[in-house]
Amino acid sequence: MNRENLNKMADYIETIPQEKFNMATYRTGESIKHECDTVGCVIGHCTVLDKNPLPMDYIGDIAFYAWSKEFTGLDPDSSEWAYLFASEWEDMDNTPTGAASRIRHFLENGLPQDGREQMEGYAPLSYMS
């Protein structure tokens, strides 16, 4: 796990306005530059933090998963990755503040035992307490 990059992601994602944030999509919008008018999730917005970011006109799951694995050190098939970045958060906490809080809580406390239940709305959000 790359703690430094995860911290950068938490700091950066808090600067994204709510109307430009959606956990269900990497990037959408008409503009194709990094500081832009697109709507995106944590991964989609945070590629700008990399010295070699994904091009803004690129949309596709495989590249985003590969980028996130390299940048965060977390496997996209892992419970940790899902807790931090899964699109299922759209229904429970679709906010940049919540995403940043989740990342910081994870870095301090590790993966909650009920992380999946939190994402599905069956357990209280531990990072908001």
pLDDT at 73: 97
- Mean pLDDT to the nearest integer, 110-118: 97
pLDDT exceeds 60 at position 38? no
pTM of the model: 0.86
- Which one-letter DSSP state was computed for residue 74? -
Residues of the domain holding 98:
3-128
pLDDT at 34: 46
Residue with tokens 């807790």: 83
Q: Which of 127, 98, 111, 118 is nearest to 1 (CA)?
A: 111
pLDDT exceeds 80 at position 39? no
Q: What is the pLDDT of residues 47-100, one digit of tens each?
A: 889 887 766 655 566 777 888 899 999 999 999 999 999 999 999 999 999 999
Give the count of alpha carbons within 13 A of 31, CB side only. 9
What number of other Cβ atoms are within 10 A of residue 109's Cβ? 10
SS3 string, 12-58, reads HHCCCCHHHECCCCCEECCCCCCCCCCEECHHHHHHHHCCCCCCCCC
How many domains is the chain partitioned into structurally? Answer: 1
